[in-house]
Structure 1
């Protein structure tokens, strides 16, 4: 199992098939999906499909979301990291690199989003030179907007994400 980065509090490693149960616990939680369209998953098959999608990202693009493991407990706390968005047009962009994270609620407010996003940002600019890194957050999710700003992404504009009809803030940074 590949470790992509290590921070003061976290081990950031590849997501493996054995993470499917943890992914289900994360994505079936309505609180986790408050700013994600309020559509938590309801079956293990959807969690497995997401794990398979992430693994495809590793193989195809050399990039993907990472499992976040809390060092002090060894707990799987969610995911963080990068992905290539090649499927959906977002704010007029296609084929772009996206930074994001999703954690179990009991791990919110500990600084893990910023800590892991700094590691992902640094990994991206070390390994994808000359590329642009993008991020998005629902306008009502001020904490996520602040994380994207803290890691150095510049807020460019807002846009409506269809078909959900949700207003998102768009951030980006190039090096």
Structure 2
């Protein structure tokens, strides 16, 4: 696993315990959780536990969500990345592209910038044949991000009793 990925404005790197305040600011916001089951975290300890789970995924799976930081200031904006996911929409295993940014950074193109870097990493470094994502059907902004990153909506399905959209991009689709 690489130690970082840089884009024009962002530094993507593995999450660290010191990201706990940024993670809490992200996941305690009810607006961030609108399409994620409406269960924002209530304590920084919950955020610390999430970071611990993700860092274990780095060891167990060789990949997991990474911090998205502003390259010039170092400010924690949120997270993005690939994750080995299991048992969703009839797929036993797949690499899921996901992301979550603090609300004050929405609409600035950061998620798309990070997403394109992750798609490139997945195909060129990990040599994945396909990358998937799924998103709540009603989350139009998140669906636009996936499409700007080159993923295509291929089907709809139910997940946790809600309508979801399944997306994918294949290495063979890359020009």
| Structures share fold, TM-score greater than 0.5 | yes
Alignment equivalent of 2:99, drawn from 98, 101, 110: 101
Q: TM-score if structure 2 supplies the norm length?
A: 0.91
> Which ranges in structure 1 are unaligned for 5 or more consecutive residues?
none
Distance 1:174 1:49 in 2: 33
User: 2:59 maps to which residue?
Assistant: 59
Aligned residues of 2:122 and 2:128 also touching (Cα < 8 A): no
Report what 1:131 is aligned to: 129
Q: Does the CA contact (< 8 Å) of 1:15 and 1:55 recur in 2? A: yes
Native 8 Å contact 2:135 2:164 kept in 1? yes
CA positional deviation for 1:159: 1.0
Partner Cα distance (1:54, 1:29) in 2: 20
Q: Report if aligned partners of 2:12, 2:69 keep a CA contact under 8 Å in 1.
A: yes
> Residue in 2 aligned with 1:111?
109
Q: TM-score scaled to structure 1, two decimals?
A: 0.91
- Deviating beyond 4 angstroms after TM superposition, the runs of 4 or more aligned structure 1 residues are none
Question: Is the aligned partner of 1:81 residue 2:81?
Answer: yes
Q: Report the counterpart of residue 168 of structure 1 in structure 2.
A: 164
Superposed displacement of residue 130, structure 1? 4.2
Q: 2-side partners of 1:59 and 1:65: how far apart?
A: 12
How many equivalent pairs are there? 170
1:141 Cα shift? 1.1
Gaps of 5+ in 2: none
Distance in 1, matches of 2:41 and 2:129, equals 33
- Residue by residue over 1:27-46, the C-alpha shift from the partner in whole angstroms, topping out at 9 and shown as x without a partner, is 11101111111111112222
